[in-house]
């Protein structure tokens, strides 16, 4: 399939895709790194950065969802869709739906966990965001675990998404990756 026959995503959708990719991978790595650090000023700073990045991911996710609702993504090219077994088409759609759900669930669970733990989010050290729930140690414990589980679920779906994209690019050689890639439209 030639690059000319591939319908690309809107430039804003492509930009948000890659901003979210960087934000998700970076924030997941930061979360893993900071979780087991001993209590220190550096650890507190990492937690602040992690929260700020989570709010940015949530914001970019909302904008991405709005752009997707206002301008539907291009359909899979017929040649690619017909070459995919039914289970791959189902996996393709399930992965995307799961990612969108987790784009919102992970940061909202983190925000709610932060509220329940009694540590407000002060965005960029300037604006305190509202707490979702009152301080509660038992609720905090549950929300912390839910935040972690959902973050690992999102990491698994991101890896599945990357694996599918690389399969299409290197094995199928079907130019599917061109739809969301850089370069001219």
Structural domain containing residue 59: 3-179
pLDDT of residue 169 exceeding 60, the answer is yes
45-74 pLDDT, tens digit each:
999 999 999 999 999 999 999 999 998 899
Q: Is residue 184 part of a domain?
A: no
Q: Is residue 129 part of a domain?
A: yes
Q: What's the Cα-to-Cα distance from 156 to each of 108, 151, 160, rounded to whole Å? A: 19, 9, 6
Residues 153, 99: Cα–Cα separation, whole Å: 9
135-159 pLDDT, tens digit each:
999 999 999 999 999 999 999 999 9
Q: Is residue 171 part of a domain?
A: yes
> Average pLDDT of the chain?
93
In the chain, the number of structural domains is 1
Q: Is residue 13 part of a domain?
A: yes
Kindly indicate the confidence band of residue 5, based on its pLDDT and cuts at 50, 70 and 90: low
Q: Is residue 111 part of a domain?
A: yes
Q: What is the pLDDT of residue 6?
A: 76
6-19 pLDDT, tens digit each:
789 999 999 999 99
Contact (Cβ atoms closer than 8 angstroms) between residue 84 and residue 123: no
Helix locations, the chain, DSSP H: 11-35, 41-70, 78-83, 86-117, 137-166
Q: Is residue 49 part of a domain?
A: yes
141 forms bridges with which residues in the sheet? none
CATH number, position 131 = 1.20.950.20
**Residue matched to tokens 């039914």:** 86
Q: Is residue 185 part of a domain?
A: no
């Amino acid at each position: 399939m030639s690059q000319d026959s591939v319908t690309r995503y809107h430039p804003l959708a492509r930009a948000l895709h890659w901003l979210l990719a960087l934000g998700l991978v970076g924030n997941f790595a930061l979360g893993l790194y900071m979780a087991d650090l001993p209590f220190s000023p550096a650890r507190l700073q990492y937690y602040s950065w992690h929260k700020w990045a989570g709010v940015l991911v949530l914001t970019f996710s909302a904008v991405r969802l709005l752009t997707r609702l206002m301008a539907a993504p291009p359909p899979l090219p017929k040649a690619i869709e017909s070459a995919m077994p039914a289970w791959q088409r189902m996996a393709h759609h399930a992965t995307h739906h799961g990612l969108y759900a987790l784009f919102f669930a992970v940061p909202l669970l983190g925000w709610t966990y932060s509220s329940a733990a009694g540590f407000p989010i002060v965005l960029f050290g300037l604006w305190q965001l509202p707490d979702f729930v009152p301080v509660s140690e038992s609720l905090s414990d549950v929300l912390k675990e839910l935040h972690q589980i959902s973050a690992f679920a999102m990491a698994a779906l991101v890896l599945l998404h990357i694996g599918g994209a690389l399969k299409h690019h290197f094995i199928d050689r079907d130019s599917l990756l061109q739809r969301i890639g850089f370069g001219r439209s």
